Amino acid sequence: MITRHFGIPVTSPGAILRRERDLGTPLGQETAEALRSGGLVSDKIIIELIEDWLRLHGGHGFVFDGFPRTLPQAESLMSMLTKLRTALDLAIWLEVSEETVRDRITGRLQCGECGFTTSSSSAQFANRPVCPYCDGRLERRNDDDLAVLQTRLQEFHTKTEPLGTFYEKMSILHRIDGNRDRDAVFADISRLIEDKTAK
């Protein structure tokens, strides 16, 4: 939505890794299993991928979704940007309650073949649960996912939460209530980006 609205390229570690996997690179194959099972890919790999992406696509602004998630990632990003003589304008923190996360996970459909995920409330997939990328079967995620969720929440508290303070100190942190629908959240994010690009 951000790319369409503002013409700013957006990426996430997940998107970069899926592309690596589709291209069949050794790295893509190595990390595909971790992605499927909801596991984590090491900081080192994520940082290298982001750095490559930035060099190729980051010349005229960029947005990262789900990066950085750890302090080492945040610190590496700062040194990359220093090298590229680029400033970080905004850090947007989507605050989402555990309850919302749980609801979204249990309402999610995932392709058993390629790992593509979508919401079961998405009308497009409600009638014909077939993956748009590989024709694999879309299945409701199961209790394993809630176990993975527990691990993720733990990781979030220990590794990601400290980033709030990190970006607060830089005075670029904005917290947004992410428990609302997509459009309301997008409107808030748009306002923040507009404020920055207008200056």
Nearer to Zn ion, 131 or 185 (CB): 131
Nearer to Zn ion, 30 or 113 (CB): 113
Residue 104 CB, shortest distance to Zn ion, in Å, is 19
Contact stretch for Zn ion (CB under 5 A) within 25-33, 127-135, 145-153, 167-175:
127-135
Amino acid sitting at position 177 = D
Task: Please pick, from the candidates 113, 129, 174, 179, the single residue that binds Zn ion as defined by CB under 5 A.
Answer: 113
Cis peptide before 72, with omega less than 30 degrees from 0? Answer: no
Instruction: State CA 79 to chain mean position distance.
Output: 21
Site membership for Zn ion, residue 187 (CB under 5 A): no
Contact stretch for Zn ion (CB under 5 A) within 46-54, 63-71, 116-124, 189-197:
116-124
Helix (H) or strand (E) run with residue 2 in it: helix 2-6
User: Crossing angle for the helix pair 71-83 and 43-57, nearest 10 degrees?
Assistant: 30
Nearer to Zn ion, 23 or 184 (CB): 23
Nearer to Zn ion, 82 or 142 (CB): 142
Helix (H) or strand (E) run with residue 108 in it: strand 108-111
Tell me how far CA of residue 106 lies from CA of 34, 111, 117, 146, in angstroms: 20, 14, 12, 8
Q: Map residue 183 onto helix, strand or coil.
A: helix
Kindly state the number of chain residues that form the binding site for Zn ion, as judged by CB under 5 A: 8
Residue 137 CB, shortest distance to Zn ion, in Å, is 9
* Residues in 46-105 at the binding interface with Zn ion, rule: CB under 5 A: none
**Closest to 146 (Cα-Cα) out of 180, 108, 93:** 108
Q: Kindly compute the dihedral angle of the four CA atoms of residues 140, 4, 163, 52, in this order, to the nearest 10 degrees.
A: 100
Task: Please pick, from the candidates 6, 62, 93, 116, the single residue that binds Zn ion as defined by CB under 5 A.
Answer: 116
Q: Map residue 123 onto helix, strand or coil.
A: helix
Q: Which residues are bridge partners to 156 per DSSP?
A: none
x/- contact string, 3-42, with Zn ion (CB under 5 A)? ----------------------------------------
* Residues in 130-159 at the binding interface with Zn ion, rule: CB under 5 A: 131, 133-134, 136
Contact stretch for Zn ion (CB under 5 A) within 6-14, 56-64, 106-114, 176-184:
106-114
Tokens 């220093």, residue located: 82
> Which spans of this chain sit near Zn ion (rule: CB under 5 A)?
111, 113-114, 116, 131, 133-134, 136
